[in-house]
Structures are given as C-alpha cells and as structure tokens.
Structure 1
C-alpha cells in the first residue's frame, strides 16, 4: 500500500503545467522573438536552483467521474532560486495564457513572491510580460460584476521596495498594473523591439483618436529616454546579465549591509591621464566616464540610466572592494547643468543609496540648474529643490570630488547632510554664487558701458576676478578641505570607502522608497 497513484497524478499535472498555453501559443510567442517564462527563469537563475511554488496551481476541468480532463496552468510562475549563489525570489508572467493578465492566474499567487521576498529578506526579480490587472473586459461577464480597484492589490509591490532589492524586466507588451510593476523597482529594463510599456495599449488609446502601433506608443526607445525605465537592452540574455550585476552591489535586504569583494586593483593606483583630463579653457568639454572608470576598481563600473537625464551620470561601482553609488556630471550635455530629468535621475540614485546604505561618491562639475525660457517652463526650480532636498535628507557617508564647476543653488548638490562627509578639489575646480563670465556683465554693467572699449573693459575685469577664483585662494582660508593631485584621486576615494564601511547601519529607512 503506497501513495504512488497520487504521486503519479501530481506528476501528470506538473507535465500539463509545463505545456504553458499549449504548443501553438508557445510557437507564436517564440516567433515574436521572445522566450517563454520558464526559459527566462532558466536563463536568469543559477542552473538547477529554481524551486517552484504553486507548480500545479491553475484551472482544472473534470469529467463526470471526477477525473481530470483538462488543465490550464496559472499564468504566474513564482518560486525561489539562487543568483550568483545568493537566494532570491522571482515571479514571471506567462504571456501564453491569457496574455499574462492576472485574471488568467490566481490572485494569491500573483503577489506570492513579493510577500515571500520581504518575509525571507531576499532580493526580488520580476519577469513582467502582461497587464497584471484586469486583462480583459470579458472577465466582467465571468464574474458578473465590476469592481473598484483597491490599493491592497499594489501594497506588496510597493512595500517590497523599502525592504529588499527589486529588479523588474519588461519583456513584452506591459500595460496598466504590469507597467506599474516594472516601474515600481530599483532597477528596470526593457528589450528593444520586443518590449513596450503603456498606461493603456493602442486599442484603448485609439478611442481618443490616436492611432498608434505598440512601438510608437510605448517602445523601449521612448521610455529609456524619458526615465520611465532605467535601461534599454538588446536581448533578454543581456537583461538577465545586467540584473545579476545590479544585485551584486546590494545586500539581500535593508537588514543587512552590502559585502566587500576581493579586490585585485591597487587602492594606491594613480593615473597620469587624470592630470590633463580637464581642459584649462572653461568652455571646453571633456569626457567624465573615463575619469569614473579610472578611479573606481577596474571593471566594477555599472552605469544605470544612460539614455535619460544625460547631464548627470549615475551608477554603482566598487572602491577597494566596497560597493558605492556614483553620481557625476557630463559636460557634453548642457555643460553639466542639471535639467528636470537630471534632478529626477539624481534623486533616484540617492534614494537607492539611502535605502541600502551605500556610500556616495560625487564627481562634481555643475554650472548650475539649466537656465532659459524652456527650463523655467519645465519647472526646473521645483525639481531642483526636490533634488537638493533628497540629497540633504540622505545620511549615508558621502565624498565629493570637485572636478570643475560648482555654481549657484545647484552647487549645494555637491554634498548631503551626513556628518561623515569628505570633500577634495582638483586644481581645475571653480565655484561661486555665479560664474564670472555671466556675473561680470550684471555686476559691472555701468562701468563696462561707460568704457571707451566695452569688450576690453569686460575682459580686463574677468581676468582680474578669475585670479581670485583659484581654488588655492579658497584653500588658504580653509574654505575647502584639501586640493589634491587628480592622479591620486583613487587613493583618496579608497580611503574614504574604508572609513565609511563601519559607519553603515542596517535597518529600514526612515521613509519608504519612492519609485
């Protein structure tokens, strides 16, 4: 006497569940250039590590004798696995069953991984390929009524953000709740050509008079440039690899601290190229990314959000093995001036650092907030003030490297409110309430206009004031802590990282993470 009959029945149901929406729908899914949800899990997780929960959850049909006649699996697959040897929970939509909409699944299974990730304090990865909400108005006929959307449906999604690292991959046409699940993450990606994201898809939008394709309405090229997602990738395999790398810099939850990795890169290493990295001519641009890559541990730079808010560079890196968040300016875009999108992007990085106790390195070259009619119309001072507030509210250790400019209100972004703050300046640094070139015309207007040669008069005044702008003058009065040789920047940053490491304190942040 044994339970073999029941085990055989269980295995039969599992085999049926592995068929997803059936061969025809799987083939159609492959023809669209997409992997199935189970192929995605296999491509993301460590080989053989996935342990599924709810493997036979779904919608059975029984014959008149009570025997299983047909079975449609739930279109949400979830479970735990390891990623680079670390435990994670993951959840994936099966587009081959009712387009991945939650009305084709089971409500309790829809939020299972979100809840379990918080309970077990592990990172969460979402493989999103569906609406995640009602999915179809046909459901109204099935349940015989409509319903009022309830915030409880989204509570676990939002709650996870303040406790565990969350990565979301938009891997198909995602709308409504599905789109929100992509955005409600610490790091999000879409795949070029096969992923689209919208509040409502083309059929709904068409009722407003706009006839658009899915790509025209919400392709990855649109959202990687407006900040709705962090990055656009070329393939699902690239998305899986970037998810692994992102999580490698973070702790399992806010109740732990991110660990140090072995570092083969000399913390005292110098770089001769940094001595001439910044041009003497203030109007000439230079490349900031090679500077970032030079001062952090080799091959540790992981940039996020390159396609949007381009005057600000954000990412993660390591210094002597310690993970840090990096904020830097890109003078190739608006001379490094902070736009509305740059402010939003900076807030996103600083909130990530604050949530998971990552020290921040800021390579500063900020001529100010963007000015002009269009900038004012965009609400730059509102968003600029929000960025300054987020930075000042952050309490993680912070190190500023004054690379070149720091002018106006935006220059306050150089540092946060932490007492664990260090600041070093390169000889190329310039700072003040206003840049001299613009300030001279306002402050000396009468003198310049009365001069026989106004241009020569302006040039003479600018030359005289520029001598006073030398960072050495500021250092003489201890207005800046130290002027350093740019070639030695890595040495100072690695020392900062080692000093900052024991100051980090695990625990929930004072306020919830804001996606």
Structure 2
C-alpha cells in the first residue's frame, strides 16, 4: 500500500505540474497556465478537480501522445464562499484542442452545474476542434452548445477568452451570458486569417479579425475587455459575487443603507433643464445607487445606452439608461439589441429593472432602416413587455415618440413611472411638431420665424407641460430630482413581493 500511495502521489504531482517546457512557452506568450488562472479565479484551496486522469482513447499514428487531463482542467470551487463550476482549457496540451475526452469532461461539469444550480465559468484558450479526432470533436462541441441552451436562464454562464477561440468554439462564448476578453492574447473568429485570405484575398491579423477591441466595440460579442488576465479574473469574481447562483435563488444582498431617506440635491444640477444640452448619464447613476458603485456592461458598444448592475438600498438592480453624451441618447439598432439582451437576463434571474429615460427618438436614416432598426427596436420592446420582474421607469427629461414607449413606459407594463418636472413626453419635440402640423400656415405667414416661435410656445404649453402625462395616469408621480434615489428605493420595497403567473405557452417568438 505504501508503494501504491507513493506511485499515485508521484503521478498526480506530475500531472498537476505539467510539461515545464510547454508551460514556459505559455508564459512566453504572456499567458498564465490553466491552473494559475484557476488559482486567481477561485477562493484559495477550494478547487475540487474531476477527471484528472482522463486521456483520449484514439489509437492513431497522428495522435500518439496520450497526456492526462486531455487539455482541460475541470471541476468546482467557490467564489466569495459560493459554489461555481469551471473548466479551463490547457493550451500546453494539444494546444487546448477539443476532442472526445476533452468534451466529455466539459459536459460533466456543465451537468453538475445545472443539477446543483451553480454558475458555470469557462476559461477558453484553445486551437479549436482536434482534427485528428474528426467528427467526434464536432460532436463534442454540439454537446456543449446543447447544454448551454438548456442552462440559459437557469444558471448564469460566463465565458472568459484568454487565448485563441476559433471556428465552432466561438459559438460557446456567443451563447454565454457574459463574455470577457483579454487584449493582445485573446482572439475569437469563425474563420481564421489564412482562410480569409484564401477566400477573399484580404490579409488581416488575428487581432484585426477577432481581437478583444473588435468584439468589445464593433461586434458586441465581448461584454468586457481587459488589458491583463489578473484584472479580468478579478472582475469575473466580482460579477459572480453580485449575481444569484440560479433563477430560483435571490441575489446576494448587502445591508440596507437608508436609501429611502437619502436626498441627493446634486441630481438636479447634473441634468440641464434645456432638452438639447448633453450630460453624462453615468453621473446620474452614481448618485442613484449605493456608494456610487455600478458595474457597466458593453461599455464601448452601443454607447448611446447604458446597461449596468448596481445596488439600491442593498438590493441588486439592473439599470438601463439613455446616454445623452453619445448621439444625444437616441435608440439605434445596436443600442436596442444591447439593452434587450440585458433586460432579458435581468428578468430571467429576477433582478428588478430601473430605466432612466431621456430619449429624443429612434435614429433616422437609410442605414438604420435597411439594417433592420424596426426589428432590433422590436427586440427591446419585446424584452420589456415580457419582463415580469419589478420595473421602475424614471423620465428625467425628454421622451419622444416610439422610443418613449419602448423605454419601459406605462403602456408596456412598467410597475411604477416617475417623472422629473423637466419631463417632456410627446410624439415629438415642439419644433418638429409645429413644422408638421402648421407647414402650410407657416409658408403663408408674412413672418414665418415669429409665427413659428408663437406656435412652438403654444404647443409646448399645451402638450409638453410636466403634468400632461400625470393627469392621464401615464406617470404615477412627478418627483423632485433630489428625491429620485428615495423614490426608487421606496418603489423597489413596494414591489418586492410582486408575483406573476405565466401564460400557458411553450414560448414566444422574439423578433431576432
């Protein structure tokens, strides 16, 4: 027995230590090893590994080596004491490529995550499907995708790209709830630079084709982008610690901090009364939430809308807000898609929604129309209409046209609609309305400029005064801006026991 124990310990130590030359090559690329990443991600000493001794069963001249783990470290650990399941692809073994044994390990931890109601975290660093294993590698990817879809809306799924993620493997991050990428070392694409050049003649680098900044600012596949692995994994830990472990458990709370009695006079100074003057919605959010702390998603994609997690009086909320600093805060196809996915995540995991409205409308133009702004705008509309979590709308300034409806208006089911005295809720602004309604009168006027000013003032007085919507029950209260945090906190407390009985149907058909 002593001899067997010694042999077992030696083998285990060798497997965990890995090939020193391969690990040196990983470090030379500016990347940590799979196990080093897990040490940063998980609480110290909490990792429990599964299938350490797993090896592929392919007997081929092209795949003679049979290293243990088969290129992926899989198991479970804790983050801030809460259970998670994780797998980390090991680029030092077969380039982290996925074969049958590799995929089976991933399937196992995914099944365990689902059965225990625990978040799933994938650390991707892989050359893609293992060519030597042929169709079984593709079958392995299919099993991952099927499990991700089955887990969607039941457990939070995190994908962290820390190296290459090519071909079919890229669909896994696309199916995850949150995708993190590290600059310079991470890349993600369906077809690599060589294939692109062969097919189209275009020469492009890995980073130009699918680097972190491409997916963080242009494609929107990456939720968050970082300069280094340490900061990236720190934020993965932080986000996991904020969110519920599954769709049945409540999100972790922090102690109440008296938000219902916390007046913030600076809010009135942050937002100009003039409807066309810009300001940063982030400043408003910082005054609204506990300790001014919020976690923004997709910061560089769809920047005309803001989506963030924060706490109000200790309760986790999802905040959606138009951003007047970018395109005057209009809704376009990208902003609509970004906000729709965020709203659906919050609804799936019972996270209340706070929507801050200052929107002049949808972005006009042939590019937006031909690119499907109607369909993308309908996605946001569908997401809000479908949401059953507590929903609070705050209209800070202007709310025009269809964009007002889409931004969680009373008509599509918000639970509580609050408005500042500066609110202007209408089909369009006064000047635009006058140009449409009184076009002939203005053309026939001896002094069109003066007459336009008179008509604009009349229209604003009649239709754009702060109480117009409140008198018709479309706004529940007109509040002092300084009392916004107090009113939202009180509203959340009022709606905390909200219940909803879903209709008997398989599922709806969101306009994707």
Q: Same fold by TM (over 0.5)? A: yes
Tell me what 1:297 maps to: 290
* 1:96-495 mapped onto 2 (5 Å cutoff): 96-103=92-99, 105-132=101-128, 134-136=129-131, 138-140=132-134, 151-208=142-199, 209-225=201-217, 226-264=219-257, 266-415=259-408, 421-468=415-462, 469-495=464-490
Q: Is the 8 A contact 2:106 2:144 kept in 1?
A: no
Q: What's the offset of the Cα at 1:149?
A: 8.4
Q: Is the 8 A contact 1:359 1:500 kept in 2?
A: no
* 1:164-219 Cα deviation digits (max 9, x unpaired): 11111111111123322222211111011111110122222222122211011111
* 1:438-489 Cα deviation digits (max 9, x unpaired): 2211111001111112222212211221122111243344442111000000
- SS of the equivalent of 2:489 reads helix
Q: Is the 8 A contact 1:162 1:513 kept in 2?
A: no
Q: Is the 8 A contact 2:103 2:137 kept in 1?
A: no
Q: Is the 8 A contact 1:95 1:130 kept in 2?
A: yes
**Long gaps (5+) in structure 1:** 63-68
Q: What's the offset of the Cα at 1:233?
A: 1.1
Q: What's the offset of the Cα at 1:104?
A: 7.9
Q: What's the offset of the Cα at 1:434?
A: 1.8
**Long gaps (5+) in structure 2:** 60-64
* 1:126-166 Cα deviation digits (max 9, x unpaired): 1111145x233x444xx8x9977884442112222221111
Q: Is the 8 A contact 1:427 1:485 kept in 2?
A: yes
Pair 1:148–1:91, CA change in 2 (3 A)? closer
Q: Mean alpha-carbon deviation: is it higher for 160-169 or for 257-266?
A: 257-266
Distance 1:112 1:146 in 2: 16
Distance 2:137 2:237 in 1: 40
Q: Is the 8 A contact 2:308 2:319 kept in 1?
A: yes
Distance 2:252 2:58 in 1: 50
* 1:51-70 mapped onto 2 (5 Å cutoff): 51-58=48-55
- SS of the equivalent of 2:404 reads helix
* 1:87-98 mapped onto 2 (5 Å cutoff): 87-98=83-94
- SS of the equivalent of 1:171 reads strand
Q: Is the 8 A contact 1:75 1:104 kept in 2?
A: no
Tell me what 1:40 maps to: 37
Q: Is the 8 A contact 1:60 1:72 kept in 2?
A: no
Distance 2:294 2:159 in 1: 21
Q: Mean alpha-carbon deviation: is it higher for 276-285 or for 333-342?
A: 276-285
* 1:390-440 Cα deviation digits (max 9, x unpaired): 211111110000011211112112327886700110011111112222221
- SS of the equivalent of 1:107 reads helix
Distance 2:182 2:16 in 1: 25
Distance 1:170 1:307 in 2: 17
Pair 1:236–1:512, CA change in 2 (3 A)? farther
Distance 1:148 1:44 in 2: 29
Pair 1:205–1:275, CA change in 2 (3 A)? same
Distance 1:149 1:41 in 2: 23
* 1:86-110 Cα deviation digits (max 9, x unpaired): 0111111001111111128533113
* 1:50-73 Cα deviation digits (max 9, x unpaired): 0111112225999xxxxxx98443
Distance 1:264 1:499 in 2: 17
Distance 1:231 1:214 in 2: 19
Pair 1:464–1:41, CA change in 2 (3 A)? same
Distance 1:146 1:58 in 2: 14
Distance 1:171 1:146 in 2: 21
Q: Mean alpha-carbon deviation: is it higher for 152-161 or for 364-373?
A: 152-161
Q: What's the offset of the Cα at 1:499?
A: 2.2
Distance 2:123 2:44 in 1: 17
Distance 1:254 1:146 in 2: 31
Q: Is the 8 A contact 2:179 2:223 kept in 1?
A: yes
Q: What's the offset of the Cα at 1:117?
A: 0.4
Distance 1:48 1:356 in 2: 29
Q: Is the 8 A contact 1:98 1:104 kept in 2?
A: no
Tell me what 1:17 maps to: 15
Distance 1:364 1:205 in 2: 43
Q: What's the offset of the Cα at 1:245?
A: 1.8
Tell me what 1:65 maps to: none
Pair 1:480–1:420, CA change in 2 (3 A)? closer
- SS of the equivalent of 1:286 reads coil
